[in-house]
A and B are shown apart, each in its own frame.
Chain A
Amino acid sequence: MALRTPLYDEHRALGARIVEFGGWDMPLTYAGALEEHRAVRTRCGLFDVSHMGEVTISGPQAAAAVARLTTNDVGRLRDGHAQYALLCNERGGIIDDLIVYRLDAQRFFIVVNAANAQRDVAWMQANLTGGTELRDESATWALMALQGPAAAEALGPLVQRPLAELPGFAIREDAIDGVTVRIARTGYTGEDGFEIFVPARQAAPLWRRVLERARATGGMPTGLAARDTLRLEAGMLLCGSDMDDRTTPWEAGLGWVVKGADFIGRAALEPLRAHPGRRLVAFQMDEPGVPRHGQSVFRDGERAGEVTSGTKSPTLDSFIGLAYVSGPSAAPGTGLAVEMRGKRLRAHVVTKPFYRRGGAKEGS
C-alpha cells in the first residue's frame, strides 16, 4: 500500500488519475498531460509535491555539517537563499540531488527526493558532524508547487508581502489565510514559480485557495506526467533515472555544483574530473519514436551508451531524451542511433536545455 499525501482526497475529488511514484500514490494527470504541460508553459499549473522529503539541520555548527554533506558551497549562502546541490558517497557517486535553503546562520532546510528520502536521512544522520541536530520533517510539511509565467499573478493576492521582493532561489516566511507558510521561488519546470511549504494539517484548504487563484489566471492542477515532460525540456535531471550512486557529478554534467572544499566524496572526485568516462548528453530524434530509459545508443554501428530519459516534447513537438555516451560522442551535432524494438532510429546530440524560458530554442 503506497503512502498518501495530505492532498490525496483533493486529487480524487478532482478526478485525477493516480499512480504510484517513489512509494507514494500521486496524481499522474487531471485534464491530460499535454494540456497540463501547456498550461505551465503559458499560464500556470499547481502540483502537489508533498512526497518530497524535508530535513532541518540546526545548531551552532550547522553550516559546517551541511558543507560536509553537500557538494555546493553552502558558505556562499545568505539568509533566506537556496542552492542546488548533491549528496555524494565516499566514491563521489550521487546519492541524491537536493535544494539547501539557509533559513538563518544556524538553520538549514533541505528538500530531497521522495524515493530517496529515508536513505538520505539515514546517510545524513550517520555523517552528521558535531554541534548539530537533524530533524526529519517530511511528515510535517505538505508542499505545493505553483509554476508558470502567471504564477506570481496567481499567488500575489494571497500573500502578505509583494512577491517581487522574493528573487529566484530565495525563501521566506509568509502567511496565506492566516496560516504561516514558507514560500520559495524554486521549481522543476523551467518556468518562474513558487514552492509553498504548508503545515500538513492545513494543506487541503490552502491547496483549494491556491488552486482557485491558479484557475482564475488560466491555470489548472497539474500532475507528475506534465512535471516529467516539463523538467526534461528544461534539461533538469531526475535522480534514479538520469543519475544514481554509480554516477559522478562530472558524468552527469553537474560539475557546476561541485564547489565545496571538504564534502564527503570530494577526494574521490578530484582525480576523475579531467576524464569522466561518459557524459550525459541531450539528444533529439530524427526519426519518430519515444526514447525510453535503458535503450541502447549507437554511433557508427558501435554501442556508445544508454538512454536515461525520453519523451515527446510538447513545446518542440519532437522526440527528445537524455543519454550517457562515451566522451567522443558527446559533442553537439554528433549523429547517434537509438535502438527501439530492434530498430536503430537516427538521432543527434543537441545542447541542453531543450527549452529556455522566454521562447523555445530551435532544434539544431
Chain B
Amino acid sequence: MNVPKELRYTKDHEWVRVEGDAGVVGITDFAQDSLGDVVFVELPAVGTKLAQGATFGVVESNKSVSDLFAPVGGEVIAVNTRLVEQPELVNQAPYGDGWMIRLRVGAAGELAALMDAQTYQAHVESEHRG
C-alpha cells in the first residue's frame, strides 16, 4: 500500500496535497484498491463552495458506489475532467493523474485535523483488522 509522506489524509480515504493556498484532492491507493476497477467518477462544478467533510462527488466501481468527502473546506477551482473519459486513472495513479479536484483552501487550520501518512497507515491497518 502506497502512502506518500507529503500528503494529509481523512479517515474516509481521501488525500490532500497542499500547494500554496490550494489543495489537490483525490482518493488513496488503499481506497482505489478496495473499490476495484473504477468505472465512473462524478465531480462538482468549478466554483462550488464546499465545507470540510461535505460530499463533493461520487466514485463508482461495478461493485459499489462511494461518496467523496472534502478533506478541507474551500472553493473548487479545478476538476480533473480526464476522469470522465478515463476513470481508470483513479486506479492507475491515485496520487497523480487520478486526482479529482483542486480547492482554494478556506481555513488553513482545517488541515491540522487531518492525518499524516503514519497515522493514516495505522488507521487503515486497524480498520482492516477489525
Contact = CB atoms under 8 A, between A and B. Distances in A.
A34 B40 contact: no
A305 B83 CA distance: 31
B40 A33 contact: no
Most chain B Cβ neighbours within 10 Å, of A228, A290, A319? A290
A131 interface: no
Contact of A290 (B36, B65, B88, B91): B65
Nearest to B91: A32
B84 A33 contact: no
B58 interface: yes
A73 B91 CA distance: 48
B88 to A, nearest CB: 8
A228 B37 contact: no
Interface string A19-48: 000000000110011100000000000000
B115 interface: no
A311 interface: yes
B63 interface: yes
Contacts of A33: 36-37, 61-63
B60 interface: yes
B77 interface: no
A292 interface: yes
Contacts, number: 37
A17 B64 CA distance: 14
B39 interface: yes
A311 B62 contact: yes
Given A33-B37, A290-B39, A312-B39, A229 B84 contact: no
Give the interface size class of chain B.
Answer: 10 to 19
B63 A28 contact: yes
A341 interface: yes
Interface string B102-120: 0000000000000000000
A319 B42 CA distance: 14
Given A228-B62, A312-B62, A34 B84 contact: no
Given A288-B84, A341-B58, A225 B63 contact: yes
A29 B36 CA distance: 8
Contacts of B37: 32-34
Contact of B62 (A17, A225, A289, A341): A225
B47 to A, nearest CB: 19
Interface in B34-86: 36-37, 39-40, 42, 58, 60-63, 65, 84
Interface in A215-246: 225, 228-229
B70 to A, nearest CB: 17
A315 to B, nearest CB: 13
Contacts of B58: 341
Contacts of A341: 58
A60 to B, nearest CB: 48
B35 to A, nearest CB: 10
B40 A312 contact: yes
Given A29-B36, A312-B40, A229 B63 contact: no
Contacts of B36: 17, 28-29, 32-33, 225
B37 to A, nearest CB: 5
Contact of B60 (A225, A228, A290): A290
A288 B60 CA distance: 11
Interface of A: 17, 28-29, 32-34, 225, 228-229, 288-290, 292, 311-312, 319, 341
Given A17-B36, A33-B61, 13 more contacts: A28-B36, A32-B36, A32-B37, A33-B36, A33-B63, A225-B62, A225-B63, A229-B62, A288-B40, A288-B84, A289-B60, A290-B39, A290-B40
5 contacts: A32-B91, A33-B61, A289-B60, A290-B40, A292-B65
